[in-house]
Amino acid sequence: MSLPRDTRMAFAVGSVTMRATIDPCSWMYPMNCQCCVEYELPPKAGDTKPMVAQARIHLERPMEQCSLADLEARCAAILLQPCSRCGDPAFDGATVDTNRGSLCERCFLSDLDARLAADMKKIATATRRRDLRYKKKGFTHKVRAWVHPSAGGDDYQLEIYAKGKPDAKTIKDALKREGSCILDDYVVEELT
């Protein structure tokens, strides 16, 4: 008997209650059955909402060939380990697909936020230096525009420096030259 699409299952790994659900890709595409497994981390001071850790497991066969017993057996093989930093429960990467290493969700996200903040600071510093360089050359305005390629593909940001405030036609012409199908996704800033 195959697993129903709406299969949801609760199970315990030690003292942690986990939930498993079938991923939609398991019935939308011809592939092996995948499930999302998740649990809530113990709350800590400063938490504004429950912290949920998620990972993926694979049943190694298409969903139509998997039973509830297969899912239960696979879930029984999941292990948790103490987070290498704080000791909270963390998925054991040998038993689930996770990119968290030996960290719990909270510690992983904390590191991710710190890296993002550092990257944003570097970008802001580089942008400020570039703006000042252009200002010293007599440029007074900058256009930050998003190019939406007519031929498809990823959107990207375009910066245009101008001596004097550029008008809408000038900006739209620049976006057309870049091959953008949307010509009004931009902001004009005065260089300070």
Please write the tens of the pLDDT for every residue from 3-47.
888 889 999 998 899 999 999 998 888 888 999 999 998 888 878
pLDDT at 49 > cutoff 90: no
| pLDDT tens string 115-130 | 999 999 999 999 999 9
What percent of the chain has pLDDT above 90? 80
The answer to whether the CB of 167 falls within 8 A of the CB of 117 is no
26 burial class (0-12, 13-18, 19+ CB within 10 angstroms)?
buried
Q: For residue 159, is pLDDT > 70?
A: yes
Strand 16-22, strand 8-13: pairing: antiparallel
Of the pLDDT bands very low, low, confident and very high (cuts 50, 70, 90), residue 1 is low
Residues 51-55 have a mean pLDDT of: 93
Q: What is the mean pLDDT of residues 144-150?
A: 96
Determine how many CB atoms are found less than 10 A away from the CB of residue 5: 12
